[in-house]
Amino acid sequence: MKIQAYAAHGPSMPLEPFEYEPQPPELPPVQVEIAISHCGICHSDLHLLANDWGFTQYPLVPGHEIVGTVTRLGSAVKSFREGQRVGVGWEAGSCGECFYCLRGDENLCSNWRGTCTHGYGGYASAIRVDGRFVFSIPESLDSERAAPLLCGGTTVYSPLAQVVRPAMHVGVVGLGGLGHLAVQYAHAFGCEVTAFSTSPDKEAEARRLGAHHFINTREAGAVEKAASTFDFIISTVSADLNWGDYLNAVRPKGKLCIVGAPPSDVRLPTFPLILGNRSVFGSPIGSPSTIREMLEFSARNGILPMTERFPMARVNEAVDRLRSNQARYRIVLVN
Ligand code: NAP
Ligand code: ZN
């Protein structure tokens, strides 16, 4: 079987049609073969395309917000059937034996395998993935709007579900693919929600998605004014920020969670951390069990991304649109 895909052959090169034969040719017993119908474009795909993280292997077929249908099952996979609608996110494998895998934190396994970092990803006609990292898509979620939940949705759902309680005041920094979902989850959890954005034209949408307040971070002093306001702030921004302002915006005992990947290391002032007993932590995607929970929660509460659809063949145009922060709010490639 040959898979038709789009690949980049070097840093910041355009994606070009690319064909490959999956290896090994026989479907391994633990894998599921999926015909891809939809694949979201996450900003992590842009980081990989540009080799921002220094580990991109070319040719790179990006794509890790995949929805499609099962075409074949390895002999050991019992949990799916042919024709079933399924999804795949960032993680495609883990050792299955370490402390973290055994307790259900497979996303913390040091031998994790990425869908598009350790193999060819979802900007393609098909993919083969270890069945432990394949998820059934709830019937009420349409495929285009389910795809971005597999990475973007789970990445913000996971820390929010671990930390926030109703009535907390939650700040969401950056209203992109991840951020516009974080606003919806925080609202659904019963929180008071503030959106921090560089794009004032997103205010009406942010409020419609569940934000009670909107802070235009381009206004001088806007973030400083919010000092000691928030129980929890999640940053989804892929750029360097003045982190001290965001740490100060967190109340004593509050938490700042960083899921966006800025180019520079995060520098923080020490005394607001110590005196306010504040904490800062990061969070990688979500475990398989968190992904299943997130899909169920999203389906039950009608939490869906706003999407723009592009045919797979127009992938370069779609990538440029995300790169220039024009996407509202997640672009999904469709086969
Ligand atoms: P995205 O759709 O491009 O959204 C990022 C948002 O950040 C933009 O929409 C923009 O929102 C804001 N922003 C962009 N440039 C900015 C700047 N210079 N200063 C301040 N704000 C800026 O990206 P995404 O797909 O949501 O991903 C966001 C980040 O999360 C990426 O770095 C990605 O790699 C990372 N990520 C991490 C994980 C994880 O497991 N931790 C998983 C997925 C993605 P406004 O217009 O509202 O300002
Ligand atoms: Zn992603």
Q: Are 171 and 223 in contact (CB under 8 A)?
A: no
- SS3 of 26-77: the string is CCCCCEEEEEEEEEECCHHHHHHHCCCCCCCCCCECCCCCEEEEEEEECCCC
pLDDT in tens, 291-314: 999 999 999 999 999 999 999 999
My answer on whether 81 and 123 are in the same domain is yes
- For ligand 1, atom 16, the nearest C-alpha belongs to 239
> Which ligand is in closest contact with the Cα of 261?
1
My answer on whether 275 and 324 are in the same domain is no
The C-alpha angle 167, 172, 175, rounded to 5 degrees, equals 140
My answer on whether 79 and 104 are in the same domain is yes
The label of the residue with tokens 């883990």 reads 94
My answer on whether 173 and 113 are in the same domain is no
My answer on whether 50 and 181 are in the same domain is no
My answer on whether 98 and 188 are in the same domain is no
CA of 65 to the centre of ligand 1 (A): 16
- For ligand 1, atom 23, the nearest C-alpha belongs to 43
Ligand 1 atom nearest residue 44's Cα: 34
My answer on whether 45 and 70 are in the same domain is yes
Q: Is residue 291 part of a domain?
A: no
> Which ligand is in closest contact with the Cα of 47?
1
Whether 25 shows a pLDDT value over 90: the answer reads yes
CA of 291 to the centre of ligand 1 (A): 20
Q: Are 166 and 193 in contact (CB under 8 A)?
A: no
For residue 138, give the DSSP letter: P
Q: Are 114 and 64 in contact (CB under 8 A)?
A: yes
My answer on whether 190 and 229 are in the same domain is yes
Strand pairing report for 169-173 and 230-235? parallel
Q: Is residue 298 part of a domain?
A: no
My answer on whether 82 and 120 are in the same domain is yes
State the Cα–Cα distance between residues 274 and 254, nearest whole angstrom.
Answer: 12
State the Cα–Cα distance between residues 49 and 13, nearest whole angstrom.
Answer: 8
Question: What is the domain range of residue 213?
Answer: 153-282
Nearest to 48 by CA among 284, 258, 318, 261: 261
pLDDT in tens, 195-251: 999 999 999 999 999 999 999 999 999 999 999 999 999 999 999 999 999 999 999
Identify the CATH number of the domain in which residue 266 sits: 3.40.50.720
Amino acid, res. 20: Y
Neighbours of ion ligand 2 (CB under 5 A): 42, 44, 151
Residue 139 host element (H or E) = none
CA of 239 to the centre of ligand 1 (A): 7
Per DSSP, the three-state class of 102 is: helix
My answer on whether 123 and 174 are in the same domain is no
Q: Which two tokens stand for residue 151?
A: 């990475």
> Ligand 1: residues within 6 Å at CB?
42-44, 47, 151-152, 155, 174-179, 197-199, 202, 236-239, 259-261, 283-285, 322, 325, 327
Q: Are 150 and 135 in contact (CB under 8 A)?
A: yes
For position 139, what pLDDT does the model report?
97
pLDDT in tens, 261-291: 999 999 999 999 999 999 999 999 999 999 9
State the Cα–Cα distance between residues 151 and 139, nearest whole angstrom.
Answer: 19
- For ligand 1, atom 8, the nearest C-alpha belongs to 176
The label of the residue with tokens 């954005």 reads 197
For position 12, what pLDDT does the model report?
81
Nearest to 48 by CA among 38, 65, 39, 61: 61
For residues 143-164, average pLDDT:
98
Q: Are 236 and 260 in contact (CB under 8 A)?
A: yes
Q: Is residue 20 part of a domain?
A: yes
My answer on whether 109 and 220 are in the same domain is no
Domains contained in the chain, number: 2
Identify the CATH number of the domain in which residue 25 sits: 3.90.180.10
CA of 294 to the centre of ligand 1 (A): 20
